[in-house]
């Protein structure tokens, strides 16, 4: 089963990247055990976000 990909413009990608970066900075400042890695795949216009945290239940 295939899922339709939402169309994303470069402008909206820039906005989302800024918001994600600010979120990562905020999380890392308060939770030292959080590892946030962000990768932008421009060829597919897709944003991949990975948040790795030792105790997710405490974070959420």
22 falls within a domain: yes
- Whether residue 46 lies inside any domain: the answer is yes
Give domain status of residue 4, yes or no: no
Which pLDDT does position 36 carry in this prediction?
A: 45
Is 3 inside any structural domain? Answer: no
Question: Three-state DSSP class for 47?
Answer: strand
* Degrees to nearest 5, angle at CA 16 with 26 and 27: 15
Q: Give the pLDDT of residue 5.
A: 54
Task: Kindly report the average pLDDT of the chain as a whole number.
Answer: 52
Residue 17 lies in a domain: yes
Beta bridge partners of 34: 53
Per the CB < 8 A criterion, the answer to whether 19 and 13 are in contact is no
Residue 49 within a domain:
yes
Cα separation of 7 and 37, whole Å? 23
Residues of the chain with pLDDT under 50: 1, 9-11, 32, 34-48, 50, 52-53
Q: Is residue 1 part of a domain?
A: no
Residue 12: per-residue pLDDT: 54
Residue 5 lies in a domain: no
What's the domain range around 34? 10-55
Residue 17's pLDDT is 57
């Amino acid at each position: 089963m295939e899922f339709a990909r939402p169309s994303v413009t470069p402008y909206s990608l820039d906005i989302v990247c800024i918001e994600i970066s600010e979120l990562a900075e905020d999380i890392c400042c308060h939770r030292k055990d959080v590892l946030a890695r962000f990768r932008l795949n421009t060829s597919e216009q897709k944003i991949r976000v990975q948040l790795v945290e030792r105790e997710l239940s405490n974070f959420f």
